[in-house]
């Protein structure tokens, strides 16, 4: 797309014969991505502060509602995260085939694993030129599937199980998720699992942001702008 910026004068000399652009991420997927990113940020910060609260506020307790506010933000962001995730599952069914990648691990497809190894070699500097992919590359899909596809489920289930403790017996949270508490070995253990899940997501986010920027610069296709415009552009027209 960079070619569009060229002035007419040198257009004939510099304009490449063909640059492919594919519409990959539909608007609802992009919207979900950024809302989800915001929700994860709020959840991580408030979640950490619930485990390790801020320094004590002095004065009358009626003058403050710090912990209450932090917990409210956590619960509100949690609901947004959960509802967004349910919507995202729905969109996997009605959206284009790229919308399904997040929830699918093509375990039995040989070419997937070959592609994953190939991409891993590119990341280990063993290859000087990666392959082109319209959707996620196999390594990205692998990470996405575990961290976001299943990681979200884990955090939503454990999160609502914790929420059911406050909502109380008989609440819908208790009916749907209360069974998780004894399964995880009690309330304290469940808290610890949820907390470790947060760190797993933090680590995923670090790798995700780094890889997206690096791919944007070094791979053969657009990356960051694709999650804004939805369009994947390629930097070359080589067949492979």
Partner 1 sequence: MQGLETFYEVMRRQGITRRSFLKYCSLTAAALGLGPEFVPQIAHAMETKPRTPVLWLHGLECTCCSESFIRSAHPLAKDVVLSMISLDYDDTLMASAGHQAEAILHEVMETYKGNYILAVEGNPPLNEDGMFCIVGGKPFLDQLRFVAKDAKAIISWGSCASHGCVQAARPNPTRATPVHEVITDKPIIKVPGCPPIAEVMTGVITYMLTFDRIPELDRQGRPKMFYSQRIHDKCYRRPHFDAGQFVEAFDDEGARKGYCLYKVGCKGPTTYNACSTVRWNDGTSFPIQAGHGCIGCSEDGFWDRGSWYARLTDLHGVGFGIEANADKVGLTAAGVVGGAVAVHAAISALKRAQHKEDNGSNGSSRTGDAA
- Look at strands 21-23 and 231-233 and give their pairing: antiparallel
Closest CA to 88 of 165, 140, 156: 156
Ranges within 12-31 binding partner 1 (CB under 8 A):
14, 16
Exactly one of 191, 212, 227, 230 binds partner 1 (CB under 8 A); that residue is 191
Bridge partners, 231 (sequence order): 23
CB distance 194 to 158 below 8 Å: yes
Minimum Å gap between C-beta 106 and partner 1 is: 25
Question: What does the DSSP 8-state code read for residue 170?
Answer: T
- Nearest approach in angstroms of CB 237 to partner 1 is 10
Closer by beta carbon to partner 1, 100 or else 214: 214
172 binds partner 1 (CB under 8 A): no
210 binds partner 1 (CB under 8 A): yes
CB atoms within 10 A of CB 22: 14
* Contact stretch for partner 1 (CB under 8 A) within 21-29, 78-86, 146-154, 164-172: 164-172
Q: In angstroms, what is the minimal distance from the CB of 176 to partner 1?
A: 13
Closest CB 142 distance from partner 1, rounded Å: 16
**206 contributes a contact to partner 1 by CB under 8 A:** yes
| Nearest 10 degrees: Cα torsion 132, 138, 141, 145 | 170
Question: Can you tell me the distance from the alpha carbon of 239 to that of 111, in angstroms, rounded to the nearest whole number?
Answer: 17
Interaction residues for partner 1, span 85-144 (CB under 8 A): 123, 125, 128-130
Task: Please pick, from the candidates 66, 83, 86, 150, the single residue that binds partner 1 as defined by CB under 8 A.
Answer: 66
Q: Are 134 and 230 in contact (CB under 8 A)?
A: no
Tokens (6 digits) for 79: 């609901």
Among 111, 175, 225, 236, binds partner 1 (CB under 8 A): 236
Cβ-contact 174, 164 below 8 angstroms: yes
DSSP 3-state of 234? strand
Under the rule (CB under 8 A), what is the footprint of partner 1? 2-3, 14, 16, 48, 51-58, 61-68, 70, 123, 125, 128-130, 165-166, 168-169, 178-179, 181-182, 185-189, 191-192, 195-196, 198-200, 202-203, 206-207, 210, 214, 217-220, 235-236
């Amino acid at each position: 797309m960079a070619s569009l910026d060229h002035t007419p004068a040198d257009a004939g000399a510099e304009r490449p014969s063909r640059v492919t652009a594919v519409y990959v991420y539909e608007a609802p997927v992009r919207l979900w991505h950024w809302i989800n990113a915001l929700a994860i940020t709020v959840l991580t910060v408030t979640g950490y502060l619930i485990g390790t609260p801020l320094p004590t506020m002095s004065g009358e307790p009626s003058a403050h509602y710090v912990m209450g506010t932090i917990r409210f933000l956590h619960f509100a962001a949690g609901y947004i995260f959960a509802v967004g995730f349910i919507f995202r599952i729905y969109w996997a069914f009605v959206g284009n085939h790229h919308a399904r990648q997040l929830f699918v691990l093509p375990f039995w497809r040989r070419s997937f694993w070959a592609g994953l190894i190939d991409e891993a070699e590119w990341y280990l500097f063993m290859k000087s030129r990666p392959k082109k992919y319209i959707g996620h590359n196999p390594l990205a899909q692998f990470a996405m599937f575990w961290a976001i596809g299943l990681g979200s489920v884990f955090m939503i289930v454990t999160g609502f199980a914790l929420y059911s403790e406050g909502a109380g017996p008989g609440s819908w949270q208790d009916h749907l998720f209360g069974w998780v508490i004894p399964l995880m070995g009690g309330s304290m253990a469940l808290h610890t699992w949820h907390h470790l899940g947060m760190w797993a997501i933090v680590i995923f986010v670090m790798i995700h942001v780094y890889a997206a920027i690096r791919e944007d610069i070094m791979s053969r296709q657009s990356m960051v702008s694709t999650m804004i415009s939805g369009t994947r552009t390629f930097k070359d027209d080589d067949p492979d």
